[in-house]
Amino acid sequence: MTRHTSMRRAGYLSAALLLALVACKGDDKAAAPAQADTNPWPQVAWPLPEDPALEKRITDLMATMTLEEKVGQLVQGDIASITPEDLRKYRLGSILAGGNSDPGGRYDAAPAEWLKLADAFYEASMDTSQGGKAIPVLFGIDAVHGQSNIIGATLFPHNIGLGAARNPELLRRIGEITALETRATGMEWTFAPTVAVPQDDRWGRTYEGYSESPEVVASYAGVMVEGLQGKVGSPEFLDGRHVIASVKHFLGDGGTTDGKDQGDTKISEAELVRIHNAGYPPAIAAGAQTAMASFNSVNGEKMHGHKPYLTDALKGRMNFGGFVVGDWNGHGQVKGCTTTDCPATINAGLDMAMASDSWKGFYETTLAAVKAGTITQERLDDAVRRILRVKMRLGLFEAGKPSTRAVGGQFALIGAPDHRAVARQAVRESLVLLKNQGGVLPLSPKQHILVAGDGANDVGKQAGGWTLNWQGTGTTRKDFPNADSIFEGIAQQAKAAGGEAVLAVDGKYAKKPDVAVVVFGEDPYAEFQGDLATLAYKPGNDADLELIKRLKADGIPVVAVFLSGRPLWVNREINAADAFVAAWLPGSEGAGIADVLLRKADGSVQNDFKGKLSFSWPRTAVQYANNVGQKDYDPQFAFGYGLTYADKGDLAPLPEVSGVTGNEGAAGVYFARGDAGAGIALRLENSTGQGVTVTKVPESLDGELLTVTGVDHLQQEDGRRLAWSGKGEATVALQSHTALDVQRESNGDLMLLTTLRVDAAPKGEAWLAVGCGTGCSARVAIAPTLATLPVGQWKRVGVPLKCLAAAGADVGKLDRPWSLVTAGEMTVSVSRVALGALNEAEATVACPGN
């Protein structure tokens, strides 16, 4: 994992990082040469001097607080699981709105509804009519590429695009705008910035990282914190127009084995510090008020329980003066813990647990642990003091309810024209030109331009995950009133210049165009959902490639605009197109792409390409160790690559051998395209467990007890038709050769999604079941759900993993991740079984007891 440490270091290290490497004490011993200190962790100068008046105020308040009130400050609940009335009773320190948590449970709730909810929780926290102290609640939210949870907000490119822009000062302005739009809707805390340094692009959160390079990440971390919070020492610091930041995820989130989300980062401490800690010194030096613990383990130990790193390194050596918050139920993954019981996480150095839906149980067990001495009074008081210190620095005690604050309710700030202009600039600067054969770009706007591909007129797709909901799926055009799709941006400029742009997603046309712009790429995803088995782009689905080739065969020049959250192996698409642009996930301002692709009406260049790769582009779909400075570094396009219009953009044909063997299983996909996933078999079994493994179709069990045949859904025989005769109980099951651990997915509220078609509704009871070894199983009744579905139509039916766990499944060791069981007549066709987000289900099976 060795890198070239001298690589453009001077250009990337911010002043904040240089300051951060100075010892926090002013004596000569602290300034000793670095080589004399064998501790790999840097010493950091916390920028806020001790404030005796503030500390006395905190001491005085804590002297009046009950044990229950102190413990409450350590707990954060999600708005989907806590009410203002609950807050009056339990006096929690914070609430959050998780990715799928919204006022009224509606992702498209209006800004006014968010502000009303923020007021209600604030007023509950300050209400002493039932006893308790008036301690204002902190409201946190994932405003990670703008206030991206709110209809109409300015949506900036995701961090991977901003990394390609190489413009730290632009990040400062983005932070300022994000803070304003967040404050307008009532929150005062964003869970940003992400300073991960992704090392394996199969990771589904790669796009949340600025770069594979620690230097680039370090150059952005401090200025982004200053943009969100204001600059320490200035009147703007933590004023009513700024929010508190949460630098995350500490530590090693981008280095897990095989890019597995929440996995294990196996690495030496020196390399952990050099690579994955790069963003923290400048963020701390900028006064970041919170840091978020990471889900992952480091060398086998979960970070939520890692005292040497949370306490000794972060708070001690690096002198972090804010508080440490957990991630969504992350404490539940610590050895010996559950989501509702984990003294170990507080003892390790976590100050506030994100006990999203487990807050009540966590509060009760933490209170009991303090009373029993498992958590010392000293540790409790340290955590409470850190939290109260941040609230007082923020002026929260005097702020009044959110709607009465500096910009509370100023909804004109949301998606304001000047905010959108900054986002549009960010789009322009993030675009990376990989190929420009024959100088086809820039295009004349006076031409007849065909804009094709499923990303051409889809703002949700260009915005990606963490947009209005967790995974960014299920949105429509009306959800983005302050946005331009990529097609709309091209059409506006073409029309103004006397040309014409025509939209045809499928690429079909009545009048032959002069040129085609094909916009395609990854569909939205976030954590869990985004993990990949390889870096192949949509394996088994060549629709985008075929579209490009068809247009080329018609003699039409093609400009490919690729939307993605990471570099992927797209050699065939690059070869087929005349020009190829990596546009990442640009957000709301699709017109920023037209700003660069199109000339001015007078024929001059409007804007040149500025973007440079912040992640190396793979030569094959299995080139995972592909970071600049690594041994045998040999990418297709190197870190820092990016053409301009002055460059010769011709590219020789690239190899079209992906390197994929077919043995790589897609994460969380158990059945797709007519086949069980890697290491999984499709089984037919009778009531005694005897049966047959399906290796061909048609296949049958015990004559006609249960038969399976091929059926078409999206492709020829990509599904299986399952017909029960009703002559006895029979099961169709996916049997895994090894136990599957889906605890993290269960914690993340994922579902087991079955894409199916009811051909003949069940006559009698039917169950969806999972198995977890001998004597371990769980099942939920699926017949009532199937009976409501229209016969002959494909639908996605979901069962929350938490329901299966509640029904008795050990989701840490599933060996049978899916099965259907009935003794009655039933015919169902199935084309896909996979884990998915809550909002992907078109029908949800009721949990037992609901």
The residue type found at 487 is: F
Mention every residue, 6+ apart, whose C-beta is less than 8 A from residue 341.
361, 362, 365
Residue 186 gets which letter from DSSP? T
Segments of 568-703 assigned E as strands: 579-584, 669-672, 675-676, 680-686, 691-693, 699-701
Residue with tokens 């390790």: 348
Distance CA 332, CA 305 (A): 10
Are 195 and 248 in contact by the 8 Å Cβ rule? The answer is yes
The two three-digit tokens of residue 701, written as one number: 């069990």
The length of the chain is 850
Whether 647 is catalytic: no
Catalytic pick among 113, 327, 458, 815: 327
Q: Is 186 left (phi over 0), alpha (psi -120 to 50) or beta?
A: left
Distance CA 356, CA 359 (A): 6
The pair phi, psi for residue 179, each rounded to 5°, is -60, -45
Report in angstroms the alpha-carbon separations of 102 from 99, 352, 519, 690.
8, 22, 31, 48
DSSP string for residues in 301-336: EEGGG-HIIIIIIIIIIT---SEEE--TTGGGGSTT
Q: What is the dihedral of CA 227, 228, 231, 232, to 10 degrees?
A: -160
Distance CA 735, CA 723 (A): 19
The pair phi, psi for residue 74, each rounded to 5°, is -85, 0
Residue 343 gets which letter from DSSP? H
Pairing status of strand 75-78 against strand 353-354: parallel
Distance CA 309, CA 286 (A): 20
3-state secondary structure of 447: coil
Whether 500 is catalytic: no
Beta bridge partners of 341: 338
The residue type found at 574 is: I
Residue with tokens 């569909």: 523
| CB half-sphere exposure, 799, CA atoms < 13 A | 30
Catalytic residues: 327, 527
